[in-house]
Structures are given as C-alpha cells and as structure tokens.
Amino acid sequence: MIELFAPAKLTWFLEITGRRDDGYHELRSEMVTLDLVDLLTIDPEGDYLHLEGSSGEVPRDDTNLVVRALKLVNRTAGVTLIKRIPSGGGLGGGSADAGAILRWAGGVSATRALELGGDVPFCQSGGRALVEGVGERLTPLDFVAREVTLMMPEFGVDTRRCYEAYDELVAEGHRPDGRNHLERAAALAQPRLATTLSWLRANYGPEVVLAGSGSTMFLEGHLSSDTREWDVTGPEGTVRFRQTTTTPG
C-alpha cells in the first residue's frame, strides 16, 4: 500500500483578465497549498474507489476526479480516499486528489492535467505559484510561510452560476476590482454568502477575503492559540473555522 497526501489549495487573490471565444475565462491568480489534506491509500494491484468521511456531494462513479485521473494516465489501482477537505467550498478537494494521483503516476504536462479541470495543473505541483490562462500557465513562486484561518459556511457556491453572474455584471457595465474579482458575482449566485461575508468582516475585520468563487472565506493569521477548529453560528447557519498554514508543496 502507498499513502499519498492531497493538500487543499487556496486562491490568495484572483483577477479575471478576459474571456475566450470558447467561453472560458482567462485568470491571473496566486495559489498556495495548505496543511489541510485528503489522504489516499493506493493499492497498485486493485481496481476500486472507496470513500471515507465524504458527503453525498462527492461522486462515486466515473465522474470522480480520482477515477478520471487514473484513466488519463492509463493506470488502474484500488484507492481508499479519506476526505478532509470540505466539498464545494472552493478549496480544490477533487482537484487535489487528482493531482496526487498524477504525481504518483509520474506526472503529466500542465496541458494534459488541464483536461481534468482548471485547478488540477496547480494541484499536481503544489506549493505557491502564479497561475494564469485558464489554469495551465504556472510560474513557481518562492515559498512564504503564512498562517491562515479558514471560514467555511455550511452552504456552497455553484461555480458555473458564479461565472454566469460575473458575465451578466460585465454586460451591465460592472468592472471588477479588489483582491477577488468574483466576490460580487459569487454574492449574486449565492445570497447567503453576501450576508455571511458582511457578518464575518464586521466581527473579524475587513481583511476577510473570499477564496476564489467561494464559499470558503479566509483571514491571514490565526485567531486562537487554544484550538485548531471550532464552529460559530452565523446569520446563515454554522461557519466552521479552521486554522491552517501554507505548505511548500
């Protein structure tokens, strides 16, 4: 048996620089990996996928990114996947799992990794990088050790709907700015996010940032020296706080 770690990715900032003819958005962002990880146990002689600790949002069929990554590299294996990265929160859990499989298989080009999703090229390499294009252009950056507090609400944001809302805003003349160009669109796609983000900023400071299209938000630094993870009741339900750190990949 072989054990693999699949670290969550955090989008430190996100700029949308254009929209291609095929509808995909060109991005410029900084991504980092965290010490919040999924754990994969690989049986090279097996042919199965067993999930532990996952919600119903994680597919168990051929659409699962672990299965798709194995097919991409023309490999079979028995995989037991222990989910610790929340699903649907924008932390790249599925992409991280796929990236771990690609590393185990010897790695592929960023262009091939992109076939599995825009976050997979970065998740295959990890660490800290400037990510451009639709996710295929990676420029490694020097590692910076950062403490981070994740704020994860109990609802998600539909990524497709978020980008549709972004396009609608642009068509109306809106020009995104700030650290995350998707913040306003994500709030339209999921109104509960707007309420929760305002509440978090009022209680923990204006530096609270939306991670990518959400729904995870984060703050640089740790809020507690006593505990790593705790729940707070917000205006739209429970928010899970998780203190973590960046990792060099």
Q: Would you name the residues annotated as active-site residues?
A: 9, 119
Distance CA(233)–CA(101), nearest Å, equals 37
Closest by CA position to 31, among listed 155, 127, 172, 175 = 127
Strands 209-210 and 128-133: unpaired
Distance CA(31)–CA(249), nearest Å, equals 11
Is residue 36 within 8 Å of 150, Cβ to Cβ? yes
Is residue 218 within 8 Å of 211, Cβ to Cβ? yes
Q: Which residues pair with 26 in a beta bridge?
A: 18
